[in-house]
A = this chain, B = another copy of it.
């Protein structure tokens, strides 16, 4: 009797196909099943597009339909995705789930993981996060020595953003989209605006680095980030 397959959450990095790790590439190439989130709306998978050159025709591809905006009602989608993958795992097929950036850092893999980890052997392969890729692309060191580093979602209310930003030596604000103007207001109020750097789609082919005062707030995509780099001090 064949044993069950192994489930892998593969961090495939922030967008540049060359920023995948050797380990993720090896596991991707050797898996029977390659699964990835796909948007129900436009039938596109960003994760698949990043690694498409590495996928072989004989591999079974399994798109996982997730709503773009995660609401409470996402849970049935995760239930269904987990059950689909469980069917393959029960047949003894190894399954890799492609995860942009790192699987456990603001992703969707944890919803699959939490549903399957007790039923199948599971491994998470960490990946390069867009946080680190943004610092590298902007040419700004993120954190020195004993800096306090904070990651925030732009979706949070202005008052919450303010309360969290004041404790940080360096910060990254993700998922700007339509929240850009609110964030800019907060940064100005806290005296952080002059340090803030803006980047869209770090390491993807259509990456944009724009001086923050020239950003058109009507065109800020979801995959955009403001980095507030640490300030070098003589004691760090």
Of B104, B135, B167, B232, which one neighbours A104 at CB under 8 angstroms?
A: B135
Interface size class for chain A? 35 or more
Question: Are the C-beta atoms of B104 and A235 separated by less than 8 Å?
Answer: no
Question: Are the C-beta atoms of B132 and A102 separated by less than 8 Å?
Answer: yes
Task: Please measure, in the bound complex, the distance between the C-alpha atom of A214 and the C-alpha atom of B143, giving whole angstroms.
Answer: 31
Q: Does A211 contact B (CB under 8 A)?
A: no
Task: Please measure, in the bound complex, the distance between the C-alpha atom of A234 and the C-alpha atom of B113, giving whole angstroms.
Answer: 16
Of A23, A122, A128, A164, most buried by chain B (CB within 10 Å of CB) is: A128
For residue A16, which residue of chain B has the nearest CB? B23
Taking CB atoms, residues of chain B closer than 8 Å to A1 are none
Q: Does A4 contact B (CB under 8 A)?
A: no
| Contact bitstring A11-32, B, C-beta under 8 A = 1, else 0 | 1011011111111011000000
Task: Please measure, in the bound complex, the distance between the C-alpha atom of A137 and the C-alpha atom of B6, giving whole angstroms.
Answer: 16
Stretch at the interface among A55-63, A79-87, A149-157, A182-190: A149-157
**Separation in Å of the A151 CB from the closest CB of chain B?**
4
Question: Are the C-beta atoms of B132 and A105 separated by less than 8 Å?
Answer: yes
Question: Are the C-beta atoms of A19 and B25 separated by less than 8 Å?
Answer: no
**Extra pairs beyond A19-B126, A128-B128 (9, CB < 8 Å):** A11-B136, A20-B22, A21-B22, A72-B234, A104-B142, A106-B143, A106-B147, A145-B153, A148-B150
- Seen from chain A, the residues whose Cβ lies within 8 Å of a Cβ on chain B are 9, 11, 13-14, 16-23, 25-26, 70, 72, 102-106, 109-110, 113-114, 117, 122-129, 132-133, 135-136, 139-153, 155-156, 163-164, 167-168, 175, 203, 232, 234-235
